[in-house]
Structure 1
Amino acid sequence: MNGPKKEIPVCEICQQSANQTCGGCKLVYYCSKAHQKLGWREGHKFKCCAFKVQFSDTYGRHMVATRDIKQGEMILKEKPAIIGPRMSTAPHCLSCGKKLQPMKIKDVFDFYKCKSCNWPMCGPECEKADIHKSECKVMTDRNYKCTIKYEQADKAEAAYCVIAPLRVLLMRESNPKQYENIMALESHLEDRINTPLYVILKANLVTFIIQVLGLPFDEATILTVASIYDTNAFDVRCLDGTKRLRAIYVTASMMNHSCKTNTRHIYLGDDYNLAVIATVPISKGEMITATYTQTLLGTLDRRKLLRTIKCFDCDCDRCKDPTEFGTYIGSIYCSICNRPFSGGPEKRPMLISSNPLDEAAPWKCEKCDHFILSRQMFWGNNALSQELKKLKKDEPKEFEEFIEKYSQALHPNNHLVVQAKLALLQIYGNQKGHALSELSDHLLKRKIDLCHDLLEVADQLEPGWSRFRGTLLLDLQAVMAVQTKREYEAEKITREGAQDQLMESMTLLQEAANILRVEPEMRPTLEAKIQALTQLLESTE
């Protein structure tokens, strides 16, 4: 019996038989290199990608791999469809997004202001930037003047809530195709419409657009735009902390959420191009995912945040697992079993949710019948989170005391302990008075242990080439190199032993470089560290 006839691939250009496939998407064929180059010039370069967007009743629109994707491969690079300030923020420039510092103007401290609309800006160059022209004109035509002035450092201004939605609305005339693309995104307005925030937006944003600016939009359209922004916007941050914005990337918005994602994203250049990087190998047909929340939160807090901010209930594999892949990052020790228990912290019975997908489900001990109500977990998490926030960011003693204080209640991987450990890593070796060269041998070992503790968490919750893993490896190799140098100079280890340990540090550094070199800001740091470690290796030869 004959099987189905195999389809013969044909050239995209001439429709003749072809045996060469596009190296990028693996979906298009060509009969020759000449026709491949012609196809690229005629538009395939805008369509070529390793993914496609498809729809299902379960996931809605989502992104799947059309071929096997390698770890570290850039899957997507996309310009923002629209970018603007956060809804409430300290004064930032409307053009470049830089956080503004006041200057002395006529014996009074204030910000530089746009000569036309009076919004705070960096200076004349930003005042004239294209991104600000349309909004400035419509405000100037209606004789509107912004009233923001400097009063105190970092004071949040709610007036910024109008800018991003206004920019989308103005695109209806200036860029109708992109406006349609944005309006086709999910809004979840029905879930937000009666929230306190949207009650305020009805009064402020809608009034500003319709009455102050006189633009021809109805209330439903204006609030839909605001809700689309809230549902789909990416939080754009610069590594140096000087800029923080919200942007919509239409194609990247098609990625579904997962609490154990297979990608990470970075921002490139002053235009804030979004680059999506595969953190693990992704097989053909597999869903490509992003995370919309903080990976290092427990399921209870993570799902609540997703429900509040993104209006959906996550049911990914991690959310279904009461132990969160064995990390117990959201769990606490059982107070009953813990009293007489003498085993190590990793062996003590834990309280875990009886149904992680139901935030009201009680939390029960893995060993005995003891349980507590979920609201007690919420209260406890909130109380300890507030306590953590009050600790001095440059004082390691307070974070060490926090970890010790709750060591009988919280698992070493509990998200609150993890936050304290991350704070310690930022202090040890980085803060003034705590440079690596200034740390005692004991604190060098403490920093190494902290790195290993957090790497174990990263392996389970952010596997592969995540930024979390990359920065941890960078910290670990640096402190290991300092420790090796001290031990060698003190003649605690031989030359061969020092060489072996430094080579181990170099291996860690090379992996960190593989992960982080896609970020332009990191390249000088990585090159300097590789050079320094190479010199240290040579000095022990």
Structure 2
Amino acid sequence: MDHKKPEIPTCEVCQQPANQICGGCKLVYYCSRPHQKLGWREGHKFKCCAFKIHYSDTFGRHMIATRDIKQGEMILKEKPAVIGPRMTCTPHCLACGKKLEPAKLEGGFDFYKCSLCNWPMCGPQCEKADVHKPECKIMSDRKYRCAIKYEQSDKAEAAYCVITPLRVLLTKNSNPLQFENLMSLESHLEDKKDTPLYLVLRANLVTFIVQVLGMEFDEETILKAASILDTNAFDVRSTDGTKRSRAIYVTASMMNHSCKPNTRHIFLDDDYKIAVIATVPISKGDIITATYTQTLWGTLDRRRHLRNIKHFECECDRCKDPTELGTYLGNIYCSICNGPGSDNITPKPMMVSSNPLDENALWRCEKCEHFIQSRQMFWGNNALMQDLNKLNKTGHKDYEDFIRRYSNTLHPLNHLVVQAKLALIQIYGNYKGYSLTEISDALLKRKVDLCHELLELADKLEPGWTRFRGTLLLDLQAAMTMQTKREYESGKITKAAAQDQLMESMVLLQEATNILKVEPDMRTALEVKIQELSSQLDAEENGISDA
């Protein structure tokens, strides 16, 4: 995303004029030695020397490694420049982002409301939060009171579309440098101005800012603030899933997109700092990339999402490859080559796009002359996705039936099949009635096989220390440990063989720990798992203990 450094250098800590540049990265300035030390402690140490912002005609502004970066290294840690509710959402607290549930109040059920502006909040503590004070003051000064009231807990409210753009605009007075940084990000407003959404925003958001609040901004600036949020904001969620917001991180937004990225990001602490982590070793001079879409979507869906939401055409190596790096994630079998009497054809011929960078290109069989229109692929994907979404999510039968039913149409690693397999991995060993001690040997083996299969997919599409790989390894080691216990107790393997298998499980667990230990919600669970498996290994003299 585009961003311009102010012409006059300012201190990273206090935003006052500065003439002392960081000797490491040569990217930030300080007004004094004490502020340089303070800036280092507050986060500059996590980004100094690891990257620089570079410009090229091909990529625009992007992030390049200024030194070799190790796998698992934290490249950047940054506070949000602005954070707030999504454009449309169910009632959420404006301070902490928590989804609200009504309380029994005088007159019936309703949300707690801010005493000044009447927006739904968690309670008095959130009402007084710093993030809410500026917007609350300008609304209450203008005698505006929010009209949201409890009707049903899952009703989405369009009124939230005004809050986060308002927070961007309010920084013009409270933090002019921050406002300049935000407003210099790429907006793609010209591409959105005449869309139905922005016609609604012109009527609602612009009217609210100018007429209701009396703020002196023109329509172009207001809509640009909204468009910058659409283009650059990260979807921020708490680890327990109860809080959800969108936020802009000015530096992190400089990362280029790739459908096979070399980083992942997590959110830390109550102020939702973003931490960008290298998933693979990154060499000096390499472009540092993130993904702005879902890596487990097929190319048609990924590129359409990026075009509609981020307004650019992805032309990465994966998007240009009709087989998606040999995974066939978005492909189907040829109905002609795989018709009656084709059971012995190996491998089964696939339908692939004749030009993956053109969503209207024909899809042709790799072997015969059969072809179909791209719109047929879109229709088929949507129909099967609807089938998948209708499945009973509490048990395994519907997912196994889905995989079996479409086995002659969908490649085993088609993205729809992968979603069903991921659901099965979660069910087997984790759901009520499907714990590792309850499921049959056959289902336990099924879980192990599915984990191995999707780990191979991860190696191709999300290589390195990704959360996808880490969680798969956790599931795999747990299932393998239970397998070992059962095989030893039934006499199928010797104590020595069991010990070897438990050591293999420990290796998997240690790799999962290396990947996931930075995740705030995983630390305690990982420590417990390591202790449990270590105890089992120590129990060699007495046999295999309970899993």
Specify if TM > 0.5.
yes
- CA displacement at 1:456 relative to structure 2: 1.1
Amino acid in structure 2 at the alignment position of 1:73:
E
SS in 2 for 1:359: coil
Whole-angstrom CA distance in 2 between matches of 1:327 and 1:123? 50
1:236 aligned counterpart, secondary structure: strand
For 2:486 and 2:422, the matched residues in 1 are separated by 25
Once the two structures are TM-superposed, the CA of residue 344 in structure 1 deviates from its matched residue by 7.2
Match in the other structure for 1:265: 265
Q: In structure 1, the residue corresponding to 2:112 is in which secondary structure?
A: coil
| Equivalent position of 2:115 in the other structure | 115
Q: Report if the CA contact (8 A) 1:49-1:76 is conserved.
A: no
Cα shift at 1:38: 8.9
In the TM superposition, residue 111 of structure 1 has moved relative to its aligned partner by 0.9
Answer yes or no: is the 8 Å Cα contact 2:428–2:434 preserved in 1.
yes
* 2:152 corresponds to 1:146: no
**Residue 323 of structure 1 aligns with which residue?**
323
CA-to-aligned-CA distance 1:125-153 (integer Å, 9 cap, x gap): 00000000000011111111111112112
Q: Shift of residue 171 of structure 1?
A: 0.6
Partner residue in 2 for 1:214:
214
Matched residues in 1 for 2:52 and 2:198: separation?
Answer: 34
Q: Does 1:472 align with 2:472?
A: yes
The 5 A counterparts of 1:67-466 are: 67-106=67-106, 108-339=108-339, 340-343=341-344, 347-466=347-466
**Conservation of the 8 A alpha-carbon contact between 1:49 and 1:75:** no
Match of 1:41 among 37, 44, 58: 37
Residue 533 of structure 1 corresponds to 533
User: What secondary structure, in the 3-state scheme, does the structure 1 residue paired with 2:113 have?
Assistant: coil
SS class of match (2:521): helix
Partner of 1:18: none
Instruction: Tell me by how many angstroms 1:539 deviates.
Output: 2.1
Q: Among all aligned residue pairs of Structure 1 and Structure 2, give the percentage whose two residues are the same amino acid.
A: 71
Q: Structure 1 204/39 Cα, relative in aligned 2: closer, same or farther at 3 Å?
A: closer
Separation of aligned partners in 2, 1:194 and 1:535: 64
**Could you list the per-position Cα deviations for residues 504-529 of structure 1 after superposition, in whole angstroms to 9, with x for gaps in the alignment?**
00000000000000112210010010
Residue 382 (structure 1) shift: 0.7
Comparing 182-191 and 209-218, the one that deviates more: 209-218
Q: Distance in 2 between matches of 1:27 and 1:527?
A: 40
Quick one: which amino acid aligns to residue 439 of structure 1?
A: I
Q: Which amino acid aligns with 2:323?
A: T
Aligned residues of 2:280 and 2:463 also touching (Cα < 8 A) = yes
Q: Relative to structure 1, is the Cα distance of residues 40 and 106 closer, same or farther in structure 2, using a 3 angstrom cutoff?
A: closer
Indicate the residue corresponding to 1:509 in structure 2.
509
| CA contact 1:113–1:123 (8 Å) conserved in 2 | yes
Give the letter aligned to residue 88 of structure 1.
T
- Whether the 8 Å CA contact 1:119–1:148 is kept in 2: the answer is yes
In structure 2, runs of 5+ residues without a counterpart are 1-21, 28-32, 542-547
Question: What is the DSSP-based 3-state SS (H/G/I as helix, E as strand, rest coil) of the residue aligned with 2:364?
Answer: strand
SS at match of 2:121: coil
Q: Is the 8 A contact 1:72 1:279 kept in 2?
A: yes
For 1:24 and 1:275, the matched residues in 2 are separated by: 23
3-state secondary structure, aligned to 1:364: strand
- Counterpart CA distance in 2 for 1:193 and 1:285 is 37
Aligned-pair RMSD on alpha carbons? 1.8
Q: Secondary structure of 2:155's match?
A: coil
Cα distance in 2 between the residues matched to 1:42 and 1:213: 38
Q: How many residues align?
A: 510
Distance 1:25 1:351, change over 3 A: farther
Do the aligned residues in 2 keep the contact of 1:53 with 1:63 (CA within 8 Å)?
A: yes
What is the deviation of 1:503? 0.5
Q: Residues 38 and 94 (structure 1 numbering): CA distance in 2 closer, same or farther, change over 3 Å?
A: closer
* Paired amino acid for 1:41: K
How far, CA to CA, are the matches of 2:484 and 2:85 in structure 1?
47
Take 1:93 and 1:247, find their aligned partners in 2: how far apart are those partners?
15
Structure 1 pair 117/38, CA: closer, same or farther in 2 (3 Å)?
closer
Q: Aligned partners of 2:110 and 2:92: how far apart in 1?
A: 13
User: In structure 1, how many angstroms separate the alpha carbons of the residues matched to 2:153 and 2:114?
Assistant: 20
